[in-house]
Structure 1
Amino acid sequence: MIQRIDWQGTPAYTLENDHLIVSVCPAIGNNVYSIWDKTLQRELLRVPTSPSDMADAPVQYGTPILMPPNRIRAGRFELNGQTYQFDINHATGHHIHGMLRSQPWSVVQTGEKDGALFITSSIDLSGDANVQRQYPHALELEVTYVLQGAALSHRLNVRNKGSRPAPFGYGLHTWFLLNGEPDKWTLQVPVSGIWELDADNIPLGHIAPLGSLSAITEGLRLEGQNLDTVFQIGSGNPCLAVLSGEDLELRYSGSSAFKQWVIYTKGEARDFVCLEPYTWVTNAPNIDLPADVTGVQSIAPGAALELEVKLELSYKS
């Protein structure tokens, strides 16, 4: 069942089957702001109390879309012979998390196909003056959320309708609840190293061994962990994070274009953990390393790029 709802005066949609109720707000960043687990009768995400809360702090709830993800030093970089200056929107004097966090998307289609429910929304950046003064590219993004069984997919198709290559970095900032019991949760992520960061959480250009966090490749207990850590997935590893509790396992995976994970607990882990798949690393265009390491890429004129991130639930009893 798909319903258009009134979320405290803001239009939103729910996709509901026997397993999950997924709530998405195209009007505020096309954010999936709630995933209700009908089996366990509990919420999986950090949910805002109101649309205005999410609009005021769009990266703090649900599954914010980041383009580009994380910080750009001083908001400035050069790529393909063009200089970019993004707004400084962080207290440290840098740009953070891009320009799609709270932009309104337009619903293109909703429906059911092969037993799956879906909603497709799009945004055309060429018509947004605030975006164009910082990022003058005619990109059209289309995201389809697909609910099938106990799995939710985020499928992106982005097309460059302009005449110049468009730098493109993408990520999600997904807030999973730990229910105040981090001792009951472990996180497994197959990764090869950790990006060393400066005082502003910007990579220095070096990837260090996992060291004290090496257990994360087999399963790291989240109790006592204080993470704001950028992990390199590394050659041969899938983009996969497995968050495992007493009664539930969440498998969060992405296409091969995703090169990094940021794991964020917002202080010592207690109520939630953010799992953030990135196609390019923080400040990627300013890092002098190969593109297959940093994830830096551009979409050629007339070309398109497709990505997918998938959340799958399984139960232990």
Structure 2
Amino acid sequence: MTISKAYEGTYQGEKAVWFQFGRYEAAILPEIGGNLIAFRDNENKYTFLHEPTLDEMESFKARPFIHGIPVLFPPNRFEDGKFLWNGRTYQFPVNEPATGNHLHGFVHSEKWDVTDFGSSAAESFVTVSLTVDEQHAVYKYLPHKFTIKLRYSLSAEGLSQQILVRNEGQDVMPCLFAFHTSVNAPFAPESSAKDYRVKLTIGERWELNERMLPIGTYQPLTADEELLKGEGVYPFFDSMDNHYTASAQNGRNRMELTDTKLGATLVYDVGTSYKQWMIWNNNATEGFFCPEPQISLVNAPLVDLPADDIGLFSLAPGEIWEESAILYVK
């Protein structure tokens, strides 16, 4: 009989909700940004996400970007911490002194509410949500009333991820979003990073200035980047903090990470609402890298390109944006 369960517990001393279905197991940290901190295949001893050790928990809580699947809202960098949109100027704190930019938004460290969790013969699941209103700390920087709901479920197919943003206010709000997904390479204990090849549905590479902001033009792809969008490449071929357009292949927008030694491929299939990819590999350090599906271009409100091309989405009062993704092994 297939094991299917969900329960409250702890992860490295922090409140967590664990859920399991068959060989798959996952855990989410509702009080640290709704971060899905673990996704494992216990039968094959695969650990797919970059998890913090007990000694890393304090640094993780201070900067929760390189472990699990942090939520970025709004995502990535904004020049001088300014967000110009729809006739309004939003002022964010400059929290990346090296570039003078704001980085990664406001919800990755907030306490989220556990809305529901449970299990059935078909799946186990957990839903967390964050509601921002005038009393919430995030409202100071994003003065809109909104709810973000995040549902993860495990089934025989793998890990499903569903994100929903609803505008609860009376004015139009920007909807800019990304996941800073941190993937292990290797994810199998008997393999090495050299055994791995990654493929991503990238299109063009954005040219970035010295402040890591796009200037509206593209750069030619290198031979290794052509492999990245083609047959696959070693994930640490060069130091990457690169920004690309997303270009669906066979109707799908996805990352595929293959362990060539074992013949196992982790697929991260995200929706086509994600118009961009960020790829960061920790200065080409073997162990993990971050394929980050992102709705919008970095610094999108200050880039003079069509809104639909750069993912500069908005939500009218009462409107919802929703997208789904799945992580599975083939």
TM-score, normalisation: structure 2? 0.90
Matched residue SS, 1:124: strand
Q: Aligned to 1:268, what secondary structure does the other structure show? A: coil
Superposed, 1:24-63 pairs within 5 Å as 24-50=28-54, 51-63=57-69
Q: Unaligned 5+ residue runs, structure 2?
A: none
> In structure 1, how many angstroms separate the alpha carbons of the residues matched to 2:74 and 2:59?
22
Q: Which residue of 2 aligns with 1:240?
A: 254
Tell me which residue corresponds to 2:201: 190
Query: C-alpha offsets along residues 208-259 of structure 1, whole Å, 9 cap, x if unaligned?
Result: 3323311112112224332111111147763211111132211112112100
Counterpart residue type for residue 62 of structure 1: G
Q: Is the 8 A contact 2:82 2:91 kept in 1?
A: yes
Deviation, 1:23, is 1.1
Partner of 2:83: 77
Distance 1:226 1:254 in 2: 24
**SS in structure 2 at match of 1:102:** coil
Matches within 5 A, 1:1-317: 1-50=5-54, 51-91=57-97, 92-113=99-120, 115-179=122-186, 181-212=192-223, 213-218=225-230, 219-234=232-247, 238-246=252-260, 247=262, 248-314=264-330
Q: For 1:82-140, what per-residue CA distance to the aligned partner results, in whole angstroms no more than 9, with x for missing partners?
A: 11111111122110011011111001111225601111111111155431111100011
Gaps of 5+ in 1: none
Q: Which amino acid aligns with 2:152?
A: Y
1:161 Cα deviation from its structure 2 partner: 0.8
Letter of the structure 2 residue corresponding to residue 58 of structure 1: P
Query: For the residues of structure 1 that align with 2:132 and 2:18, how far apart are their CA atoms?
Result: 26
Does structure 2 conserve the Cα–Cα contact (< 8 Å) formed by 1:34 and 1:45? yes
- State the distance in 2 between where 1:283 and 1:183 align: 34
Quote the offset at 1:57 in angstroms: 1.7
Q: Hey, what's the Cα distance between the residues in 2 that align with 1:251 and 1:174?
A: 13
Provide the alpha-carbon RMSD of the alignment: 1.8
Distance 1:295 1:107 in 2: 29
| Residue 165 of structure 1: how far off its partner (Å) | 0.7
User: Which stretch has the larger CA shift, 176-185 or 85-94?
Assistant: 176-185
Q: Secondary structure at the match of 1:205?
A: strand
CA contact (8 A) 1:193 1:207 kept: yes
Letter in 1 for 2:201: P
CA distance in 1: counterparts of 2:135 and 2:71, whole angstroms: 17
Aligned length: 314
Q: Is the 8 A contact 2:196 2:258 kept in 1?
A: yes
Check the 8 A contact 2:17/2:27 in 1, yes or no. yes
Q: CA deviation at 1:192?
A: 1.8
Deviation per CA, 1:20-40, whole angstroms, max 9, x where unpaired? Answer: 110111110110111122122
Measured against aligned partners, the alpha-carbon deviations of 1:134-184 in whole angstroms (never above 9, x if no partner) come to: 110001111111111251111111110111111111111111111383321
